[in-house]
Amino acid sequence: MHRVARFACVLGCAFGLCSSVAPGRAHADEKGKGLYADDKKATTGDLDDQDYWWAKWDAKNLEDAIKSRQPEGPISINVAVGLRRLNDLAKKYPDHDEVKKMQARFQQIQDKLDPNANRGDSWKPGFPWDMSNYAQAWVNWHWGKMAYDANDADRAFGLYSNVVQNFRLITEHADTFKDMPAECHKFIEENKPQAEKIYKELKEKTHH
């Protein structure tokens, strides 16, 4: 992800957490063949696709950024990145209603943004869009849940491992993340114990 560097990202990279691609995930090829080829026909519902969950993260934060009147410069950077991702998703899942709605919304906002907005501006304190550790935890928690529910133990283990480590980093560096919205702290408090439980279960199951 082409994001502005943040201390949180340094923490994640230092622990080898910047890569959010889980091992063992097969994908349909360009010709529509393969184990997951039917995914491309989906019209509704969550998609078992990393880019889909990153798009959901971006879409959530876009609305939160507008609501909290964040500066246009960093919004414009992340909207451009998010729109490229959504354009690719729309090619993979051309009939998916939510993907099309997110794509249209990002295009609408991009058309409204001031092209002269200062991209060097910073988010208001605590705004989490570029907080790498929290972003990875959020994405991989949701994507990992899909793998877990599908009994894809090896892939789920890799994702929950990332979630547990990022939750731990956040709680161990409370001063860095103290200004995050209450919603973010609530997400961690509610899901950290469950993530640790699932991680332990999968570790035993996969003999890691």
3-state SS string over the chain? CCCCCCHHHHHHHHCCCCCCCCCCCCCCCCCCCCCCHHHHHCCCCCCCCHHHHHHHHHHHHHHHHHHCCCCHHHHHHHHHHHHHHHHHHHHHCCCCHHHHHHHHHHHHHHHHCCCCCCCCCCCCCCCCCCCHHHHHHHHHHHHHHHHHHCCCHHHHHHHHHHHHHHHHHHHHCHHHHCCCCHHHHHHHHHHHHHHHHHHHHHHHHHCC
Mean pLDDT by 10 residues, the chain (208 residues): 43 45 42 58 92 98 98 98 98 97 98 96 96 97 97 96 97 89 95 97 89
Q: What is the pLDDT of residue 42?
A: 86
In a domain, 62, yes or no: yes
In a domain, 78, yes or no: yes
In a domain, 84, yes or no: yes
In a domain, 37, yes or no: no
Q: What is the pLDDT of residue 13?
A: 47
Domain count of the fold of the chain = 1
Q: What is the pLDDT of residue 38?
A: 61
In a domain, 40, yes or no: no
In a domain, 117, yes or no: yes
Structural domain of 132: 7-21+47-206
Q: What is the pLDDT of residue 175?
A: 86
In a domain, 28, yes or no: no
The predicted model scores a pTM of 0.83
Q: What is the pLDDT of residue 34?
A: 54
In a domain, 121, yes or no: yes
